[in-house]
Amino acid sequence: MKKALCLAVLAVSACTTKPIEMSVPTQAGHNLHSARIAVQNCATEADIGGNAAVIGGYATNVLVWGIILGPAITAPFDDRLRRQGEIDQVDRCMTEQGFERRELNEGERFWLRDSVGEERARRLDHLVGGGTIETYGVPET
């Protein structure tokens, strides 16, 4: 009974997705241009992660719920599983390149939305390089 409950929880958790918040890839010494190139390179691997997530979801639910119920339970979540798998794969690729995903807090989101053009690019450069709002515009010593 315990095993069935654990497998059921695992199957349900495989169908959930993390909410996508506003974030930037960060790595000391990098800027918006280098981060953009890294994201574009890693985006080519997104399909791999999406396919793996969907296959894993089906396989898990077939093991837990059987060959008839398993696919029926998984099918409504295909798009979400694929999307989360793609996001996770890009994150793994970015991590291999030394970048880290940094979720922006509400103040930083507002700070970015409040800027346009070159000023927005400068602010993003600062955040990608590991800076904060507080250190923006402060000369480095």
Tell whether 115 and 60 lie within a shared domain. Answer: no
pLDDT for residue 113 = 92
Tell whether 42 and 89 lie within a shared domain. Answer: yes
Q: What is the mean pLDDT of residues 18-40?
A: 87
Residues 34-75: pLDDT tens digits? 999 999 999 999 999 999 999 999 999 999 999 999 999 999
Tell whether 96 and 112 lie within a shared domain. Answer: no
Tell whether 93 and 70 lie within a shared domain. Answer: yes
Tell whether 95 and 114 lie within a shared domain. Answer: no
Q: What is the mean pLDDT of residues 10-25?
A: 61
**pLDDT of 5 higher than 80:** no
Question: 3-class SS at 31?
Answer: coil
Residue span of the structural domain in which 139 resides: 104-141
Q: Which two tokens stand for residue 86?
A: 């793609």
pLDDT for residue 137 = 79
**pLDDT of 122 higher than 90:** yes
Residue 25 lies in a domain: no
Residue 50 lies in a domain: yes
Phi, psi (rounded to 5 degrees) for 138: -80, 125
**pLDDT of 1 higher than 80:** no
**pLDDT of 19 higher than 90:** no
Placement of tokens 């719920």 in the chain: 65
DSSP state of 137: T
Q: Which two tokens stand for residue 37?
A: 């190139």
Residue 138's pLDDT band (cuts 50, 70, 90)? confident
- Identify which of 129, 113, 103, 112 has the alpha carbon closest to the alpha carbon of residue 33: 129
Tell whether 97 and 114 lie within a shared domain. Answer: no
Q: Judge whether 89 and 46 are in contact, CB under 8 Å.
A: yes
Q: What span, in angstroms and rounded, lies between the C-alpha atoms of 20 and 35?
A: 18
pLDDT for residue 18 = 53
Residue 23 lies in a domain: no
Percent residues over pLDDT 70 in the chain: 84
- SS3 per-residue string spanning 71-112: HHHHHHHHHHHHHHHHHHHHHHHHHHCCCEEEECCHHHHHHH
pTM of the model: 0.75
Residues 76-104: pLDDT tens digits? 999 999 999 999 999 999 999 999 999 99
Domain count, the chain: 2
Tell whether 97 and 108 lie within a shared domain. Answer: no
